[in-house]
Amino acid sequence: MNATEDEARHHPVVVAHRTSQAADVQLRVADAITKFAGSMPFVYLHAIGFALWMLFVEANPWPMLTLVVSLEAIFLSTFVMIGQNRQAAFQQAKADHDFVEQELELKTNTELTRAVHAMTTELHRRLVPESDSGMRGGIDAASDMTGLPPAGETGLHRHTPRRGSHGPDGPR
């Protein structure tokens, strides 16, 4: 896979991260140490090494073994923190890139929506006959504020109560 294919398949921040990582020898060494320290072969190697040390190297291995393990823990925790800092910087760069891309997409969508609205308005102006200009949104200018057409046009009439028909028992 060449660099162009790599860029097409991965997020631009990932490509930049890999490029900077490949360029810095110290980062590659730190990554290799962290990767090995987080693996099961590391655990097995240390279990075997500590067992051999306790059994064959020293009669009282605890003081020296404690010192070695403490020093190793100090260095390994430093490598882990280096990896965490780099990961945080990577995540921030990716979030910044994504924010810029989303803002650009939002701006483009807004422009497209405005263009569609303008075209729809123009089409409506050209296609709707001038005689319908008194109509707005399907509501006749003569209709009341309810948006319903006048009563005579639909066969429905406004209800006017008649005398003596106030209820099933008559007037109260």
Question: How confident is residue 6, by pLDDT bands cut at 50, 70 and 90?
Answer: low
CA distances from 88 to 24, 32, 163 (A): 18, 18, 82
pLDDT of residue 58: 84
Q: Interhelix angle for 25-37 vs 62-127, to 10°?
A: 110
Domain contains 82: yes
Which residue, among 159, 158, 131, has the nearest Cα to 143 in the 3D structure? 158
Q: Mean pLDDT over residues 22-27, rounded?
A: 80
Q: Which domain holds residue 57?
A: 9-97
**Is residue 74 one of the residues assigned to a domain?**
yes
Q: What is the pLDDT of residue 27?
A: 83
Residue 141 within any structural domain of the chain: no
Q: Is the pLDDT assigned to residue 130 strictly greater than 90?
A: no
Cα 158 to chain centroid distance, Å, stands at 55
Per-residue pLDDT of 132-163, as tens digits, reads: 555 555 544 444 444 445 554 444 444 445 55
Residue 115 within any structural domain of the chain: no
Which pTM value belongs to this model?
0.51
Looking at per-residue confidence, does 68 or 22 come out higher? 68
Residue 123: per-residue pLDDT: 94
**Closest residue by Cα to residue 78 from 34, 42, 39, 44:** 34
Number of residues in the chain: 172
**Residue 158: half-sphere exposure toward Cβ, Cα within 13 Å:** 7
Contacting residues for 143 by C-beta, under 8 A, at least 6 apart: 149, 150
Q: Is 114 among the domain residues? A: no
Number of domains the chain is built from: 1
Q: Give the range among 1-5, 53-57, 87-91, 163-167 with minimum mean pLDDT.
A: 163-167
Q: Considering the domain boundaries, does residue 2 fall inside one?
A: no
69 in a structural domain: yes
Q: How confident is residue 164, by pLDDT bands cut at 50, 70 and 90?
A: low
Residue 35 included in any domain: yes
Half-sphere exposure of 147 (CA within 13 A, CB side): 3
